[in-house]
C-alpha cells in the first residue's frame, strides 16, 4: 500500500470499545438515554468475546428460588469471597453484581433468550444447578445465540456498530477527561478517529501471552483476539492496572480442542466424574438438586478444593485421566449434551466428537488433558474503578473482564457491569453535551506507525514476534518464578520493544501487528508485577516464587497496581475493599 491512510472522523456521545457481552449490554442501556451510541468492535458483535459462540450458564441471586431456600445476597457474597476469590475481591462491586444479576437475566429474557423449561421443578421453571456457591445459583439456558440477540437489540435501539476496528489509543485532555479514541480498520485499513464525551472499555481478557499446548494457533479457551488492548491503552494513558502477575499455569480440562466445560462444575453437570486410568474416581459426579426438599446448603470452604492437582498425580504415575459420563442416565447425558451445545464452541465440539470421532458419552470416556495458560478468571486483572465503574480518567468507564478485582464473576459480571457502565456513561455524556477539540499528535503518529509497517521490507511478521514474546513468558515466568529470571525476561522483552519492527502486507496483518504490540505491553506488566509480588500464593492463583516460597498476607494481601508516570512504572498496593454497609446502593 502506497497511498496515505485515510482518517475517518466520527462523533458519538458514547463510545463502547469492545462489543462482547459487557459491551453490548453497555450500548443497549446507554441507548435508552437521549444520546448517540457507537460500538467499535475488533471482530463482529454477533460472535465476539467470550460469549461469542454461546453461553449455557450464568450465576445469580434468583429471588423466586433463593427466598424460598432462605438463601440471601449476603450468603452468595460470603460464598464467592471465601470459596472462590480467597478474599481477593472488591466486595462493593461484587454486591452490585449479585443484587443486579437477576434483573439483567430478565432483560436477556426480554431480548429473546429462553431461561424457563416446562420440565423444571425449580421455582420459576428455571434450570438451576450448583456451580460456585454453597447453594444452587447457576441457571442453565438456551444461550448459543446470545450475541446474535444482543446485536439485534442494540441495532433496534439505534446503536451504531462498526465491526473490524482494532482500537489502539485513548485520547484525553490535559485535565484528565476522556475526549476520544483511535482505531484501525482491519478490513479497510482506515484510521477511525472517534470524538466522544464518554467511553466504556470492555475488550475482555489477555490471551496469547503463552504458546498453545497443541501448537495450533488459535486453539485456546479464551478467544484469540482478546489481546489486552484495553489494559494496554489504559496503561499508556496513565491508569493503574492490577493483578497482572497472576498469569495461570496450565490446567486440566478438555485437551486438544480447548473449550470451557469444567468438572465438577459448569457444563458437564450432573453426570460427569473424573477418573484415572484404572477407573478410580478422582472427582465424583454431582446430582440434580432436589427441588422437592429445598434449603440444603454446602459448607463454604476456601479455594478450589474439589479440583485435584492433576500434574502432581501425573508425576506419581497416576494418569491418564478421563471425563466419565458413562454412569449417567439418558436424561442426565441428554441434559449435558444440551448444555454443551449452548456453551462456547460447544456445538462445534459435539459435531466433531460425533461425526469425526464417532464418540458417545454413554459408552466412551473423554481424555482429560492440560489446557494452555491464560489470564484466567482467578487473576481478576484489569483497571481500577470506583463503585460506578469509572476509572481515574473522567468519563472513562470499564466493564466485564476489563474491571480488575472481580475473580470469576464471568457472565453475570459482564451483563451487570456492562449495564451499569452504559448507564453511567450516558449520564456523563448528557452532562457534557458538546464535544471538545482534540489537540495532540496521536492521530498523525498512528498514521505514521501504520504506514511504516506497510512499507517496512525489513520488518518481522507478527507471528515471529508473538512467538518470541511467548517463549520469554513461558521460559522465565513459568510455573516457578524467581527475581533474576524475571529481570532477565524484562531485559529481553525490552530488546524486542526497542529493536523489533513489524511488516504488514494488508490491513488484516496490520491488525495482527497491533495486537502483538498489545501482547508485548501486557507481557511487560506480567513480568514487572511478578517481580513486585515477593511472596508465593498457591492454589487457585498458581503463583510461586522460588525465592519467596511462603505466602505473606501482612505485606501482600493487596491488589498490586502498576502505573506509567512520565515514562517510569510505579507500583502501589491497593487495599482490598469490602462492602460499605452504609452506602451499597439499592
Mean pLDDT by runs of 10 across the 586 residues of the chain is 82 98 98 97 96 94 93 94 92 96 98 97 93 90 97 98 98 94 97 97 95 89 93 98 93 82 76 91 88 66 61 90 94 94 92 94 92 85 97 98 95 98 98 83 92 94 98 96 98 97 97 98 98 92 95 96 97 85 44
- Phi, psi for 244 (deg, rounded to 5): -75, -10
> Cell 464525551, residue?
197
Tell me the pTM.
0.95
Domains, the chain, with CATH or none: 252-289+305-370 (3.90.700), 442-574 (1.20.58.100)
List the beta bridge partners of residue 183.
Answer: 167, 192
Which of these, 566, 277, 574, lies nearest to 405 by C-alpha position?
A: 574
> Cell 454477533, residue?
46
In Å, how far from its chain's centre is CA 559?
18
In Å, how far from its chain's centre is CA 323?
25
Q: How far apart are CA 66 and CA 64, in angstroms?
A: 6
Q: How far apart are CA 519 and CA 509, in angstroms?
A: 15
What element of type H or E holds 282?
strand 281-283
572 C-beta neighbours (distance < 10 Å), count: 13
Q: How far apart are CA 585 and CA 199, in angstroms?
A: 23
Q: How far apart are CA 404 and CA 378, in angstroms?
A: 11
Contact 578, 91 (CB under 8 A): yes
Q: How far apart are CA 508 and CA 187, in angstroms?
A: 6
Amino acid at each position: 500500500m502506497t497511498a496515505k491512510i485515510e482518517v475517518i472522523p466520527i462523533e458519538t456521545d458514547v463510545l463502547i470499545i469492545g462489543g462482547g457481552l459487557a459491551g453490548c449490554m453497555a450500548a443497549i442501556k446507554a441507548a435508552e438515554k437521549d444520546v448517540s451510541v457507537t460500538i467499535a468492535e475488533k471482530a463482529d458483535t454477533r460472535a465476539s468475546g467470550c460469549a461469542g459462540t454461546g453461553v449455557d450458564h450464568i450465576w445469580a441471586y434468583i429471588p423466586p428460588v433463593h427466598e424460598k431456600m432462605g438463601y440471601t445476597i449476603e450468603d452468595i457474597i460470603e460464598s464467592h469471597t471465601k470459596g472462590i476469590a480467597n478474599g481477593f475481591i472488591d466486595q462493593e462491586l461484587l454486591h452490585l453484581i449479585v443484587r443486579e444479576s437477576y434483573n439483567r437475566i430478565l432483560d436477556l429474557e426480554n431480548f429473546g433468550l429462553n431461561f424457563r423449561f416446562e420440565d423444571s421443578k425449580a421455582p420459576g421453571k428455571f434450570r438451576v444447578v450448583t456451580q460456585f456457591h454453597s447453594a444452587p445459583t447457576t441457571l442453565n439456558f438456551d444461550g448459543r445465540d446470545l450475541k446474535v440477540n444482543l446485536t439485534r437489540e442494540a441495532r433496534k435501539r439505534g446503536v451504531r456498530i462498526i465491526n473490524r476496528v482494532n482500537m489502539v489509543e485513548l485520547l484525553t485532555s490535559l485535565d484528565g477527561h476522556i475526549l476520544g479514541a483511535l482505531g484501525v480498520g482491519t478490513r479497510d485499513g482506515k484510521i477511525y478517529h472517534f470524538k466522544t464525551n464518554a467511553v466504556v472499555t470492555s475488550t475482555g481478557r489477555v490471551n496469547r501471552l503463552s504458546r498453545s499446548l497443541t501448537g495450533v494457533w488459535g486453539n485456546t479457551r479464551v478467544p484469540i483476539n482478546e489481546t489486552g488492548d484495553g489494559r494496554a491503552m489504559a496503561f499508556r494513558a496513565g491508569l493503574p492496572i492490577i493483578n497482572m502477575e497472576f498469569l495461570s499455569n496450565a490446567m486440566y480440562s478438555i485437551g486438544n480442542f480447548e473449550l470451557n466445560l469444567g468438572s465438577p462444575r459448569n457444563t458437564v453437570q450432573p453426570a460427569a466424574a473424573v477418573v484415572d486410568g484404572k477407573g478410580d474416581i478422582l472427582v465424583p459426579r454431582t446430582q440434580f438438586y432436589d427441588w422437592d426438599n429445598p434449603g440444603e446448603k454446602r459448607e463454604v470452604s476456601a479455594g478450589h478444593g474439589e479440583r485435584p492437582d492433576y500434574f502432581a498425580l501425573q508425576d506419581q504415575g497416576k494418569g491418564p485421566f478421563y471425563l466419565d459420563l458413562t454412569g449417567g442416565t439418558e436424561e442426565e447425558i441428554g441434559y449435558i449434551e444440551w448444555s454443551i451445545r449452548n456453551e462456547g464452541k460447544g456445538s462445534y465440539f459435539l459435531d466433531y466428537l460425533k461425526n469425526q470421532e464417532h464418540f458417545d458419552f454413554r459408552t466412551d470416556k473423554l481424555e482429560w488433558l492440560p489446557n494452555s495458560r491464560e489470564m484466567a478468571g482467578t487473576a481478576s486483572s484489569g483497571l481500577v474503578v470506583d463503585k460506578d465503574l469509572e476509572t481515574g480518567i473522567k468519563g472513562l468507564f470499564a466493564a466485564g473482564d476489563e474491571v480488575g478485582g472481580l475473580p470469576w464473576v464471568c457472565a453475570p459480571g459482564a451483563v451487570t457491569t456492562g449495564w451499569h457502565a452504559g448507564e453511567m456513561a450516558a449520564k456523563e455524556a448528557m452532562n457534557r453535551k458538546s464535544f471538545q477539540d482534540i489537540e495532540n499528535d496521536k492521530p498523525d503518529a498512528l498514521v505514521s506507525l501504520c504506514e511504516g509497517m506497510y512499507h517496512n521490507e525489513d520488518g518481522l511478521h507478527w507471528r515471529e514476534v508473538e512467538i518470541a514474546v511467548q517463549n520469554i513468558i513461558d521460559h522465565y515466568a513459568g510455573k516457578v518464578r524467581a527475581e533474576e529470571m524475571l529481570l532477565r525476561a524484562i531485559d529481553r522483552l525490552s530488546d524486542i520493544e526497542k529493536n523489533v519492527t513489524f511488516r504488514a502486507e494488508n490491513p488484516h496483518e496490520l491488525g495482527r501487528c497491533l495486537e502483538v504490540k498489545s501482547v508485548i505491553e501486557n507481557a511487560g506488566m506480567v513480568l514487572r508485577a511478578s517481580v513486585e509480588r515477593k511472596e508465593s500464593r498457591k492454589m487457585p492463583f498458581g503463583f510461586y516464587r522460588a525465592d519467596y516460597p511462603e505466602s505473606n498476607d501482612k505485606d501482600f494481601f493487596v491488589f498490586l497496581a502498576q502505573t506509567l508516570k512520565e515514562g517510569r512504572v510505579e507500583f502501589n498496593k491497593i487495599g482490598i475493599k469490602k462492602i460499605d454497609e452504609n452506602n451499597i446502593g439499592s
